[in-house]
Amino acid sequence: MFNVTPIAIYEDNYVWLIQHQGKVCVVDPGHAEPVIEHLQKNGLTLDYILVTHKHWDHITGIAPLKQHYPLCQVYGTGHEEVPCLEHALLGGESLDLMGLTWQVVHTPGHTLGQIAFYVLDESGQGHLFSADNIFACGCGRMFEGSAEQFQASLASLVSFPASTLIYGTHEYTLANINFALHIEPNNTFTLHRQDLCTQLRDEGKATLPTTIGDELKSNPFLRWGQPDVIRAAEHHKGAPLHGPAQVFGEIRLMKDKF
């Protein structure tokens, strides 16, 4: 059984804890104590750490975890500075970890060196650890890459099957939905999602994982081909836009100022 649990850290980050065939892995441990506490409470040790990119809220826990669990192996982006990195990944690799085959995808845009991890479990369910690429109804900020790079990265991630579960690293969903409805006020799926996610947050639950299918129906950063989204982007720009990257870039700019 492939089992994934969110460990909430800081204001709105998640460290994803993965268990499969008796092995334990965490993705982007930005803070060690909550992870150690969770592992101890559940009688677990740590075998692997996966790291998508260099930002402090994704890497700060690595060194202390490595100290606490010296046998655990650190896999992460080789494009950036990652503490204790033992297996540098550039994208395009497949890894055999926890009895499964993982695909590494290089996804420049949020940072230039960010990678994401995709794995298919034995039931045929896909799991995408999307880092700061795709959030529920949103995407990461464009700190380093160009709109062309970021849009191409997102396009490569959403080419996995629609049923794929997406584990983003931030609980920004309700704010993202507000923005999505600003872009597409008549999107009934997003309106339905707002009710659902409001209820989940009221119950103190995570709104993640999401799925590629749900994101394609409601995430304005992935809907660069939709007439309403193109219209909103062109209205903001005050000029015609040409192609997915330009539409995406304008929507990203609108969100930065929203």
Binding residues for Zn ion, rule: CB under 5 A, are: 55, 132
Instruction: Convert 81-108 to b/e letters by CB count within 10 Å (16 or more is b).
Output: ebbbbeeebebebebebbebebbbbbbb
Beta carbon of residue 256, minimum distance to Zn ion (angstroms, whole number): 15
Beta carbon of residue 53, minimum distance to Zn ion (angstroms, whole number): 6
DSSP string, 134-176: EETTEE---SSS-HHHHHHHHHHHTTS-TT-EEEESB--HHHH
Structural contact between residues 162 and 213, judged by C-beta atoms closer than 8 angstroms: yes
The answer to whether the bond into 185 is cis (omega within 30° of 0) is: no
Beta carbon of residue 170, minimum distance to Zn ion (angstroms, whole number): 9
Nearer to Zn ion, 51 or 165 (CB): 51
Instruction: Convert 116-136 to b/e letters by CB count within 10 Å (16 or more is b).
Output: bbbbbbeeeebbbbbbbbbbb
Nearer to Zn ion, 2 or 172 (CB): 172
Q: Please state, in angstroms and rounded to a whole number, the distance separating the CA atoms of residues 90 and 144.
A: 17
Nearer to Zn ion, 80 or 184 (CB): 80
| Residue whose C-alpha is closest to residue 98's, from 77, 81, 126, 119 | 119
What is the number of the residue whose Cβ is closest to Zn ion?
Answer: 55
Beta carbon of residue 13, minimum distance to Zn ion (angstroms, whole number): 10
Q: From the CB of residue 217, how many other CB atoms can be counted at a distance below 10 Å?
A: 17
Nearer to Zn ion, 55 or 127 (CB): 55
Beta carbon of residue 31, minimum distance to Zn ion (angstroms, whole number): 14
Nearer to Zn ion, 132 or 250 (CB): 132
Nearer to Zn ion, 111 or 246 (CB): 111
Beta carbon of residue 140, minimum distance to Zn ion (angstroms, whole number): 6
